[in-house]
A and B are shown apart, each in its own frame.
Chain A
Amino acid sequence: MSTIYYAKHALGNVVEGECLCASDGFSARYDLDRINGTFSRPSHKLFGQSYKDKILVLDTAKGGVASAWMLYEMKSRNIAPLAIIFNSVNPILVQGAAQGDISMLSGFTEDITQALQSGQILRVDPSKKMVEVIGGIVN
């Protein structure tokens, strides 16, 4: 049995992949080693983990405007997440997702970082504004 969560806002194409989830924020400049494709801020809950081809599930967008360029640059080198799902997003990450063609969802009735777990296989369908757990640990 699958579990589906609906977002208020969505952008991008349908993607499927492994979930990497934390109740923490996200900024491409502040948190990532973009050369190696890992979280590099020591205090980040995903420190040391690879984000390449993962569906990131995080609380909120943080910090500065650089992420708008960085998502595009990361995508060009194929060291980017497949999609990013937020409880709450700022315009920068949306602009970056639009520029970098990375799927994005935000705005859920539940805390999406608690509803989903790392290791689950997710299907993100922006046209239906939904994310579905399709494998791994099913809730």
Chain B
Amino acid sequence: MKLNQKEQAMLAGEFGPVKQAAIQHQIKVGDFFEAEDFVEVAQAHIMADTESLGEAGVVWLEGLAKNSSKDRVVSIPTITDPRGTDFTKAKQLGQTEKMLDLERRAIAAFVKMGVSMTDTCINYQTIMAPIYGEHVAFGDTGVVIYSNSICGARSNFEGGPSALSAGLTGRTPRYGYHLDSYRRPSQRFSIDWMPNSLNEWGALGAYIGKQTGNYWAVPILEGVSSVPTSDSLKHFGAAMASFGSTALFHIAEITPEALRPQDLGIDQLSPNKIAYADVMALQSSYRVTDDVDVVVFSAPQLSLIEMRSVADLCEGKQFKIPLLAVTSPQVKADSDRMGLTKTIEDAGGTVFSGMCFYQSYAREIATANGWKRLATNSAKMVNILGGYGYIPMLASMEECVRAAETGKLS
């Protein structure tokens, strides 16, 4: 990689050992992908729940944080993805003191490094959405695909160590979705129907992700007849990224880089028509039983609008099984203030803040609570939780709330 004077100085250790280690890591990755040079980034977003980090990852973070305050702090706005717990409700989840201690240590290390503990995977809805053409280094696949596709920003998937490195150095290797040549559509899909709910948007995203199945594929979807909501596209993108490892999609005449799809060479691509029945078949493939142990709304964290929808459905109900609604600290404060949290919790549900269900020791909390059959409206979550021993089932928000009342999906 070509390094400018500042980058050479970082590599030589003139900015301290933390930034030196960070740029060494970035060069390894950049060399793998044959990046020519670095590009400066405006923000970094770090995924670092402690189920992923483990003791080894936390010790590594603590080692960085022990350096002098001059050397260890990030150089650009750097924020965090959901943590692995909501400390106020950890006992209810059955999380152990060891898990919480690891969380506290990771948080203390990040704070020492100047990282802002936003604890959210919906930063594009709540903190500071990136702008068109802006280069960023974002973790969480849902954050990356939304920022690339809807905002027109430029990011690769940046795992925790790489996003932290970008926060420290203020740059990232210029490869993949930082380059124009990678952002053109490579697969073409169309619909002649519109998804009716968040789970249907998620299932459509999941279907496209399964078809593309490759980080480097860029699908374009035609036939979307009206502008979807931010929450619809959040579920659509998060599911596509989860099922396909997809980092960028376009929607013809809607997303900013596909306003004139005819200019993108899509005539050269074979069209693939997606029937409503295809997407419903994907959703139904997860519906293996009617009995439900737990209902979870999470992945991505709920927006304020979703929180209001859940609260409206919970009004006056009494739940037979647990219902968990997981949101960001920013939305939680508004939900408390507007009475949404109280409505959900009066019905027997629980609102969690600053975590995400699958990032919170999902296997261990399943054992602690006897949870196996889980209903959710998140297509992303049903994809993930199979590996954690759950039987996850995809249904609408309304069906999920009804399941919390009756213990059954009907």
Q: Which residues of A line the B interface, CB within 8 A?
A: 9-11, 25, 27, 29-32, 40-43, 60-70, 72-73, 75-77, 88-92, 94-96, 98-99, 104
Across-interface contacts of B48 in A (CB, < 8 A) = 69
Question: What is the chain B residue whose CB lies nearest that of A126?
Answer: B32
List 30 A-B pairs, Cβ < 8 Å. A10-B32, A11-B31, A25-B213, A25-B245, A30-B383, A30-B387, A31-B387, A32-B387, A40-B388, A41-B386, A43-B386, A60-B245, A63-B245, A63-B383, A64-B47, A64-B141, A64-B241, A65-B47, A65-B157, A66-B359, A68-B161, A69-B52, A69-B161, A75-B56, A76-B54, A91-B176, A94-B32, A95-B162, A98-B29, A99-B161
How many chain B residues touch the partner (CB < 8 A)? Answer: 45
Which residues of B, 227-244, contact A by the 8 Å Cβ criterion? Answer: 241-242, 244
Smallest beta-carbon distance A17→chain B, Å = 21
B199 adjacent to chain A (CB < 8 Å)? no
Q: Are B54 and A73 in contact (CB under 8 A)?
A: yes
Other than the known A65-B160, A66-B359, what 11 A-B pairs have Cβ atoms closer than 8 Å?
A: A11-B28, A27-B387, A29-B358, A30-B384, A32-B387, A64-B242, A69-B47, A73-B57, A77-B56, A90-B247, A92-B159
Question: What is the chain B residue whose CB lies nearest that of A105?
Answer: B32
Q: Are A95 and B383 in contact (CB under 8 A)?
A: no
Expressed in whole angstroms, the Cα–Cα distance for A40 and B363 within the complex equals 11
B33 adjacent to chain A (CB < 8 Å)? yes
Q: Which residues of B line the A interface, CB within 8 A?
A: 25, 28-29, 31-34, 47-49, 52-57, 60, 139-141, 156-162, 176, 213-216, 241-242, 244-245, 247, 358-359, 383-384, 386-389
Q: Are B213 and A66 in contact (CB under 8 A)?
A: no
Q: Are A68 and B387 in contact (CB under 8 A)?
A: no
Across-interface contacts of B33 in A (CB, < 8 A) = 9, 91, 94
Smallest beta-carbon distance A48→chain B, Å = 13
Q: Are B157 and A92 in contact (CB under 8 A)?
A: yes
Main secondary structure on chain A at its contact with chain B?
mixed
Expressed in whole angstroms, the Cα–Cα distance for A41 and B245 within the complex equals 17
| Contact A91 to B387, CB < 8 A, known contacts A64-B140, A69-B48 | no
Smallest beta-carbon distance A23→chain B, Å = 12
Across-interface contacts of B176 in A (CB, < 8 A) = 91
| Contact A65 to B383, CB < 8 A, known contacts A11-B32, A70-B52, A94-B32 | no
Expressed in whole angstroms, the Cα–Cα distance for A43 and B383 within the complex equals 11
Smallest beta-carbon distance A80→chain B, Å = 11
Q: Are B52 and A66 in contact (CB under 8 A)?
A: yes
Most buried by A among B140, B162, B176, B245: B245
Q: Are A94 and B29 in contact (CB under 8 A)?
A: yes
Across-interface contacts of B214 in A (CB, < 8 A) = 60, 88
| Contact A91 to B52, CB < 8 A, known contacts A69-B57, A69-B159 | no
Q: Are A95 and B161 in contact (CB under 8 A)?
A: yes
Smallest beta-carbon distance B344→chain A, Å = 27
Question: What is the chain A residue whose CB lies nearest that of B172?
Answer: A91
Question: What is the chain B residue whose CB lies nearest that of A87?
Answer: B214
Q: Are A95 and B158 in contact (CB under 8 A)?
A: yes
Q: Are A40 and B57 in contact (CB under 8 A)?
A: no
Smallest beta-carbon distance A22→chain B, Å = 15
Smallest beta-carbon distance A6→chain B, Å = 15
Expressed in whole angstroms, the Cα–Cα distance for A61 and B243 within the complex equals 11
Q: Are A91 and B213 in contact (CB under 8 A)?
A: no
| Contact A91 to B29, CB < 8 A, known contacts A40-B389, A63-B245, A73-B57 | yes
Expressed in whole angstroms, the Cα–Cα distance for A42 and B384 within the complex equals 12
Q: Are B216 and A88 in contact (CB under 8 A)?
A: yes
Option from A11, A65, A76 in Cβ contact (under 8 Å) with B139:
A65
Expressed in whole angstroms, the Cα–Cα distance for A94 and B156 within the complex equals 12
Option from B55, B161, B387 in Cβ contact (under 8 Å) with A40:
B387
Across-interface contacts of B242 in A (CB, < 8 A) = 63-64
| Contact A29 to B157, CB < 8 A, known contacts A11-B32, A88-B214, A94-B32 | no
